[in-house]
């Protein structure tokens, strides 16, 4: 599913899936610079991967749609 998301975003913007993932990684790294940012609580490492962020977002969407 996550690879599909990267590929679909890439297709819509005329870039590669690798470029999409790289830009997401840069955004995540920037967001993690703030020690109190909620993104710091996602994933198992110091900086979450794009896949971990997507998993988290999808779970939140499901959780909120069930409330």
pTM for the whole structure = 0.83
Instruction: Kindly give the residue spans of alpha helices, DSSP state H, lying in the chain.
Output: 2-13, 17-31, 50-66
What DSSP designation does 4 have? H
Listed by start position, the domains of the chain span 2-66
21-62: pLDDT as tens digits: 999 999 999 999 998 999 999 988 889 999 999 999 999 999
**6 touches 21 (CB < 8 A):** yes
Contact between 5 and 54 (Cβ < 8 Å): yes
CA distance 6 to 14: 12
């Amino acid at each position: 599913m996550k690879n599909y998301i990267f590929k679909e975003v890439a297709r819509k913007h005329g870039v590669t899936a690798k470029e999409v993932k790289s830009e997401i990684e840069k955004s995540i790294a920037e967001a993690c610079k703030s020690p109190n940012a909620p993104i710091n609580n996602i994933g198992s490492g110091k900086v979450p991967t794009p896949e971990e962020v997507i998993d988290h977002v999808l779970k939140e969407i499901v959780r909120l749609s069930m409330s």
